[in-house]
A = this chain, B = another copy of it.
Amino acid sequence: MKQIAILGSTGSIGRSTLSVVETYPERFEIVALAAGKNLEAAFVQSQRWKPRLISVANEKDAEILSARLKAAGIDGTEVTSGPSGAVRVATHPHVDFVVSAIVGVAGLEATYEAVRAGKTVGLANKECLVAAGELITAEARRQGKPLLPIDSEHNAVHQCLRGGTMQEVQSIWLTASGGPFLHKPKAEFFRITVEEALNHPTWKMGNRITIDSATLMNKGFEVIEACRLFNLAPNQVRVVVHPQSTVHSLVEFVDGSILAQFSVTDMRLPILYALTYPERVASSMHLSVMDLRHLDFIPPDMGKFPCLQLAYEALEAGGGKTVALNAADEIAVACFLEGKIGFEDIPRVIYEVIAATEAGQLESISQVLEIDQEARRVAREKVRQFERSTLVGQPALREQ
């Protein structure tokens, strides 16, 4: 029995992980959960999984949940809260495997502590590697424990890398669906609405990652993640647009052979792979020939999707720049979702924040969090500037 902790149990990846655990009850046991702000979901999960420990957003929520669990006759579950609660979940002594799926930089500290505690970590949180990749991978190497990617692209790369040694890798090709605006003319980008941007053609995901997919920033983050996770140079990581999302990534070896991973677009598959690695366990998530039919591959249009270009630039500069990239994107996307700025303002905000941040060398998680805070402050300031100049296509304005 593998003893599992989930950071971000009430989010999209967290729920998919619980679904995998439910399918293989003989293999996995839920020991600890870090839930988000959805207290009802945290209660339902506690009831169903009876973890030894559950952490919620804050102390007040913890008291409410505690009372509800007591009333429901569940007394084996300790309730805790806040960032320190998430760290306790991540480092719980009974846990073997931690699924890191808190969205945003909020998941950083707990993930780092899980690695430091010698846990095997399945990484679904992008920000850990984007903001503090060098620190986390160095610590995992020190612990001699693998970091197993749950992102479908990096999971695909992990699978394909088994076909050779790291020295034999020429490059990796991350596939991108291209998002909902692959075929939309650049001239119409200024009036993209929130509803349009949330309508992803192939994957059902959380809101932030869906917008990041529409701007291709998500792919930019993945380029950074891939470099850090697999220790590759930026020019070894390429992006190729593949609208069908059937091929999840490709690895090109020095001899000219490319290995690619195909599968259904269901996050439970990379989760299952990470949870059972190095084994493969039978599932019902199989493709048929009919699912393949036509597959297209085209180079990405950096001019249309400047966020991807910004990610490569931040990666090349390194250090604080990628922390700023992520922080600025998180703010910009949130403000876009709130209708404060337009779709095309997202890269403008990020560009300004990166320019205002020193590259530098990252020494600690607390330093990362400081740079992150400062970048958010600058990002909010930039948003306020753009807010005044925004004219078209924003729900806030349309409602006036």
Contacts and interface: CB of A to CB of B under 8 A. Distances in A.
Contacts of A299: 289
B261 A285 contact: no
| Identical chains in the assembly | 2
Most buried by B among A238, A257, A273, A298: A257
Contacts of A286: 170, 252, 256
Contacts of A269: 255-257
Interface string A309-323: 000000000000000
Contacts of A258: 261-263, 287
Contacts of A252: 286-287
A203 interface: no
Nearest to A287: B258
Contacts of A162: 162-164
Most buried by B among A238, A260, A284, A287: A260
B262 A283 contact: no
Contact of A263 (B170, B256, B282): B256
A264 B170 CA distance: 16
B283 A159 contact: no
Contacts of A296: 293-295
Contacts of A233: none
A168 interface: yes
Interface in A258-306: 258-264, 269, 272-273, 276, 279-287, 289, 292-299
Nearest to A295: B295
B160 A256 contact: no
A250 interface: yes
A240 interface: yes
A264 to B, nearest CB: 6
Contacts of A221: none
Contacts of A298: 289, 293
B297 A292 contact: yes
A261 B262 CA distance: 11
A391 to B, nearest CB: 38
Contacts of A343: none
A160 B164 CA distance: 10
Nearest to A291: B297
A356 interface: no
A311 B55 CA distance: 61
A255 B296 CA distance: 25
A150 to B, nearest CB: 14
Contacts of A287: 252, 256, 258
The 9 closest A-B pairs by CB, nearest first: A292-B297, A256-B285, A258-B262, A254-B282, A168-B280, A295-B295, A255-B280, A162-B163, A256-B286
28 contacts: A159-B259, A162-B162, A162-B163, A165-B280, A168-B279, A240-B289, A240-B292, A247-B260, A252-B287, A253-B280, A254-B283, A255-B276, A255-B285, A256-B284, A256-B285, A256-B287, A257-B263, A257-B269, A257-B280, A258-B262, A258-B287, A259-B261, A259-B262, A289-B297, A289-B299, A293-B296, A294-B294, A295-B295
Given A257-B261, A294-B297, 16 more contacts: A159-B163, A159-B259, A160-B163, A165-B280, A173-B289, A240-B289, A250-B262, A252-B286, A255-B282, A256-B284, A256-B285, A257-B262, A257-B273, A258-B263, A289-B297, A289-B298
Interface of A: 159-160, 162-165, 168, 170, 173, 238, 240, 247, 250, 252-264, 269, 272-273, 276, 279-287, 289, 292-299
